[in-house]
Amino acid sequence: MINLFEYQNKVDYDPSLDGLEGFLDEIWNSREKNSFYSENGESKIESQRFLQFIHKSDELKSNKYVGVIHYGGSKINLLPKIFYDSSKEYSLNEVNQIQNHILWWLSYCRKIKFPNYQASLGSAKSDFFEVLIYLFSKYTRELLSSSIYQQYEEVNRELSFIKGRLNTNDYLNENLSKGRWHKLNCTYDAFVFDNEFNRIIKYVTTFLFNVTSSQDNKRNLREILFILDEVSDERATAEQCSRISFNPMFGEFETVRDYCQLFLSNFI
């Protein structure tokens, strides 16, 4: 485990990290170009900005990003400089508590809604990524257990009666001309469970289930997948999340949407 604080300490480059710089460049160029990068003038920069690779002295140094990088069998924690003490060796428990502070700060963020699990954060023994998965999976499982999200979506189906509008061209070419006059091609709005937002939740949940090592997280995520079993499997993006809005009846789902956007923006 490597602990780097923003613009503070340096560590010797370990040979086991060979290929890390190219790996981070690939991640940087594959990232979703969200407003954070645009506002900071980094949307057109092609080389990664997560770490500084000091080749003259074979050292690593952190830049302004905070989080965790998993590469091969190594984990690099990027931590806030406010916690840095040059005379101190940080234990695993101390690093976890620093990461819990970050999550606590995020609970006050206006751009993204986080559920407030203060008790859970205080006793968390896992790393930053696992705690994020825990908060998402616990909140989403509890919400879906009591409230199912449905929304109106445009549906195209063959019916034995007219519903919505008749797709005349399709009906003439695909049905009437082939002797299937009794089947009508209709387009109508339906209040459906298999909608875009539930497909996003299922996609994110499936991904997280495959990467988490926590049995508690897997249990929560498995229950979410069970609830969403009838929802189609489709790839999702953070841009889709940003387009979704809710009426007041489904206001609690805003937190789930923001979590999904967070994970989708930083998936790799």
In the predicted structure, residue 223 carries a pLDDT above the cut 90: yes
Report yes or no on 259 lying in a domain. Answer: yes
In the predicted structure, residue 129 carries a pLDDT above the cut 90: no
Do 256 and 125 lie in a common domain?
Answer: yes
| pLDDT range class, residue 33, cuts 50, 70, 90 | low
What pLDDT was estimated at residue 50? 86
Report yes or no on 93 lying in a domain. Answer: no
Do 57 and 177 lie in a common domain?
Answer: no
- Please give the residue that has the higher pLDDT: either 194 or 234: 234
Q: What is the mean pLDDT of residues 19-33?
A: 78
Report yes or no on 110 lying in a domain. Answer: no
- Nearest C-alpha neighbor of 261 from the set 134, 70, 66, 112: 112
Q: What is the mean pLDDT of residues 89-112?
A: 78
- Please give the residue that has the higher pLDDT: either 180 or 42: 180
Do 227 and 139 lie in a common domain?
Answer: yes
Least confident span in 33-37, 49-53, 60-64, 102-106 = 33-37
Do 131 and 237 lie in a common domain?
Answer: yes
Neighbours of 218 (CB within 10 A): 16
Do 168 and 233 lie in a common domain?
Answer: no
Report yes or no on 105 lying in a domain. Answer: no
* 210-215 long-range Cβ contacts below 8 angstroms, 24+ apart: 212/130, 212/133, 213/130, 214/126, 214/130, 214/133, 214/134
Do 35 and 76 lie in a common domain?
Answer: yes
- What whole-number distance in Å separates Cα of residue 16 and Cα of residue 14? 5
Q: Give the chain's count of helices (H) and strands (E).
A: 10, 9
Do 137 and 220 lie in a common domain?
Answer: yes
Report yes or no on 90 lying in a domain. Answer: no
In the predicted structure, residue 19 carries a pLDDT above the cut 80: yes
Do 163 and 245 lie in a common domain?
Answer: no
In the predicted structure, residue 125 carries a pLDDT above the cut 60: no
- What whole-number distance in Å separates Cα of residue 103 and Cα of residue 117? 10
What pLDDT was estimated at residue 119? 42
Least confident span in 103-107, 111-115, 121-125 = 121-125
Q: State how far Cα 267 lies from the chain centre.
A: 6
The residue to which tokens 């400089």 are assigned: 81
- Please give the residue that has the higher pLDDT: either 230 or 178: 230
In the predicted structure, residue 61 carries a pLDDT above the cut 50: yes
| pLDDT range class, residue 216, cuts 50, 70, 90 | confident
Do 170 and 255 lie in a common domain?
Answer: no
Report yes or no on 109 lying in a domain. Answer: no
Do 65 and 20 lie in a common domain?
Answer: yes
Phi, psi of 132 (to 5 degrees): -60, -45
Q: Which helix (H) or strand (E) holds 239?
A: helix 238-243
Whole-prediction pTM: 0.63
Report yes or no on 55 lying in a domain. Answer: yes
Give the chain's domain count: 3
- What whole-number distance in Å separates Cα of residue 107 and Cα of residue 118? 10
- What whole-number distance in Å separates Cα of residue 200 and Cα of residue 195? 9
Burial of 203 (0-12, 13-18, 19+ CB in 10 A): buried
Do 256 and 128 lie in a common domain?
Answer: yes
In the predicted structure, residue 144 carries a pLDDT above the cut 80: yes
Max mean pLDDT range (3-12, 117-126, 127-136, 214-223): 214-223
Domain containing 47 equals 2-83
Last residue of a domain, which of 66, 83, 100? 83
Helix (H, G, I), strand (E, B) or coil at 71: strand
What pLDDT was estimated at residue 206? 95
Percent of the chain, pLDDT > 90?
Answer: 13
In the predicted structure, residue 126 carries a pLDDT above the cut 80: no
Q: What is the mean pLDDT of residues 124-131?
A: 68
Report yes or no on 52 lying in a domain. Answer: yes
Q: Which helix (H) or strand (E) holds 219?
A: helix 215-227
What pLDDT was estimated at residue 191? 67
- What whole-number distance in Å separates Cα of residue 39 and Cα of residue 36? 5
What pLDDT was estimated at residue 199? 93
- Please give the residue that has the higher pLDDT: either 157 or 267: 157
What pLDDT was estimated at residue 268? 47
Helix (H, G, I), strand (E, B) or coil at 264: helix
In the predicted structure, residue 124 carries a pLDDT above the cut 60: no
Do 176 and 205 lie in a common domain?
Answer: no
